[in-house]
Amino acid sequence: MAAKPLVLAADAAKAAGTSKELDLGINGFHQYHLFGQELYITNTHIAIFIVMVTLIIFSIIANKVIKKADPTKAPGAFLNFIELIVESVDNLTASSMGEKHGHKFSNYIGTLFAFIFLSNISGLFGLRPPTADYGTTLSLALITFVLIHFNGFKYQKIGHITALFKPVILTPINIIGEIATPISLSLRLFGNVMSGTLMMALVYGLLPKFLTMLGWPAFLHAYFDVFSGAIQSYVFCMLTMVFISDTFGEE
C-alpha cells in the first residue's frame, strides 16, 4: 500500500476547530497521482510560481529598457534602478569572493537574493511566504551545497576530499560539518521567516479586528517582512559566497 501523504497542517487545524485566521499550514489546492503516490499543488507552489513570474516579467522589461537605452541621453529612473542593482551585486560578489572569481557568480547571487527577498516579503501581498516552507529553503541550500563541492573539485581536485582527513582524528567532525552546511543554511532561513509569519498570524488572529484595522500592524510588517526579509536574504547569500570562496584555495 502506498504511503499516504502527511496530513496538511491547515486541515488538522480546521479539524481541531482552530480559527481560520491562524491557518499557518501548507494547504493542498489540487491533488494528482504520480507513480502511485498522492501529490498536491499547494499554496507554496502557487506562491513560488507568482514570485518566478514576477522576476521573469521584471527581467524581460529590464532587458528591453537596456536595449532601447540611448547612451547619449541621461538614463531614466527605471534604468538607474537596474544599474544600481547590477552594480551592487557585482560589488558584493567581488568584495566577498575576490575580483578573479566574483563576477562568475554575480548572476547566481543576484537571482538568489531576488528570489529569497521576494519570497520573504510575499506575505505583504496575502501569500504564505514560500521560504516559510522547509522544502523551499532546503532546496535552495542544496543548490548551494552542490556549487560548493563542484567548485571544490574544480579548483582543488582530489585535495577537496583529502582535506576531510586532515587531521585524521577530526575526520568524523569534518564530514559532519560538510553535511551540516545545507541543513544549517536552510534551517536558519526557514526558522526566521516562519517565526515572522507566526507572529503576524497571531497579531491578526488573536486581536480584535478594530485594533488591527488601525494600521499599527504595518510597523510589524515593516520589521518581520521587509527588514527581516532583507536581512535573511543577505545572510543566506553571504554564507553562500563564503562557503564557495573557501573552495578556491590559493587561486
Residue 17: all three cell numbers together = 476547530
- Give the closest residue to 144 by CA, choosing from 234, 53, 244: 244
Place of cell 585524521: 168
Distance CA 22, CA 205 (A): 6
Q: Can you say whether residue 215 is alpha, beta or left, with left for phi > 0 and alpha for psi between -120 and 50 degrees?
A: left
Cell of 248: 578556491
Q: Which of 250, 195, 183, 247 is nearest to 225 (CA)?
A: 195
The answer to whether residues 122 and 50 touch, using CB atoms and an 8 Å cutoff, is yes
Alpha-carbon span 201 to 191, nearest angstrom: 15
List per-residue pLDDT tens for the chain, 251 residues long.
334 433 444 444 444 444 444 455 677 777 777 787 788 788 889 999 999 999 999 999 999 998 988 888 888 889 999 999 999 999 999 999 988 888 899 999 999 999 999 999 988 887 889 999 999 999 999 999 999 999 999 888 888 888 888 888 888 998 998 999 999 999 999 999 988 888 877 777 776 666 666 666 667 777 777 888 899 999 999 999 999 998 887 65
120 closest CA partner among 234, 240, 242: 234
